[in-house]
Amino acid sequence: MRDHLLIEPPDDLGRYELYLSEIKTAKLIHDWVSEVSEFEMEKTYGIGPGDIRSKVELAEWLMHAMSRLAGLINKSAVPYTEEINRRIAYGIKPDLLELVRLGGIGRVRARALHDRGLRTIEDLRKTSYDRIKQIPNIGERVAASIKKQLGQPREGVVPDGEDSQRSLSEF
């Protein structure tokens, strides 16, 4: 990865250790947004899930700050920084950004939907509740929630967790 780095490694051993720590954190965030599993990351980096979450939250905060600065300095960069911030928040590749807009859909469920050909909100609108509920990690309650968020509630099915619902106007 040396060719991709903006800063040359320092010669001083003390600063070099800090430099490697920063590289490790950057690699961890890269793995996170590349959908590497937490289990794999724990093994690779020798850290626990709380440490991963802590680094991710810090990266979210930094990217949010970068987005705000971009709004002042280079407005054309704002959409890019906001996209990266959402990728960091959910730990996803860009192809899942649309799906995670739905309440109750995170990285695992979005990938399950995507891998079965449901890649957009429109794909979900066109797909039956019965097909959606059969997808691993989705089930009846989440399928009902998806359909309700899309303005297509299944009669007789009311999903729990109304607080996770988003309005149709967001889509």
14-62 confidence digits (pLDDT tens) = 899 999 999 999 999 999 999 999 999 999 999 999 999 999 999 999 9
What pLDDT does residue 153 have? 76
Whether residue 118 sits in one domain with residue 36: no
Q: Are residues 77 and 99 in the same domain?
A: no
Q: Which domain holds residue 167?
A: 94-171
Q: Confidence class of residue 158 from pLDDT cuts 50, 70 and 90?
A: very low
pLDDT at residue 57 in the model = 96
CB of 147 closer than 8 Å to CB of 153: yes
Q: Using the predicted structure, report yes or no on whether residue 163 has a pLDDT greater than 70.
A: no
- 4 band by pLDDT with thresholds 50, 70 and 90: confident
Q: How many domains does the chain divide into?
A: 2
Q: What's residue 157's pLDDT?
A: 47
Mean pLDDT of 142-171: 66
Q: Is 24 exposed, middle or buried (0-12, 13-18, 19+ CB in 10 A)?
A: middle
**Which residue among 91, 123, 142 closes a domain?**
91
Task: Say yes or no: 169 and 99 in one domain.
Answer: yes
